[in-house]
Amino acid sequence: MSLAETAIKAGEGDEECVLEIIQKFMPSILKFSKELGYEEAQTDLIIGLLESMGKIKRNINSDSQDGMVVTYLYRLLKNKKIDLFRKNVKGKDQRVVDIEKIGELAYEDDFEDHFAMDELLESLTIKQQTVLKLKYFYGYSDVEIGKVLDVSRQSVNKIKMRAIEKLRETYFHEREEV
């Protein structure tokens, strides 16, 4: 059975097909839940995928290429991740920290460099920090960041460029003092 047929049957409520689709997209679900960084993210993404299954028959048919179906379902998950980010992460003043890396940092020789980077980031506004983290830590495009923050791509670029300039000024000013 093709992926398109499996997806259509999943949309009609076939439990085996639903499980097959979830299993196929589990790597993306795990990746996105880690990026979201909250405990229930994986469950929320699976629920979002299940909710979208009902709409799938309108957007694909049994003749659809598997690549098109994969792209369609991946985009559904990615859009759900953005929605969940807006709902659960945006606006909260929290620092995104990869817990696994904290232990590694304590044993690295360049721990001071990491500490200095944290201090530099703290010199930025929350919006500037958010843009830089989404862009460089999570790999979001300027358009995606604009959707998350509800601003234009041009605004995202201006925020990013001002933040980088501020980081340069702060970094070189601190180096001159030393």
11 and 80 share a domain? yes
Question: pLDDT (tens digit, 9 = 90+) per residue, 63-114?
Answer: 777 888 888 888 888 888 888 887 776 554 333 433 333 333 333 444 444 4
pLDDT category at 157 given cuts 50, 70, 90 is: very high
From 62, 88, 114, the end of a domain falls on: 88
82 and 142 share a domain? no
H-assigned helices in 37-152: 41-53, 56-59, 66-88, 99-106, 111-122, 126-132, 142-149
pTM above 0.75, yes or no: no
73 and 104 share a domain? no
CA nearest neighbour of 86 among 38, 156, 155: 38
The answer to whether 23 touches 68, Cβ cutoff 8 Å, is no
Question: pLDDT (tens digit, 9 = 90+) per residue, 9-39?
Answer: 888 888 898 899 889 999 999 988 888 888 8
From 88, 120, 154, the end of a domain falls on: 88
The domain total for the chain is 2
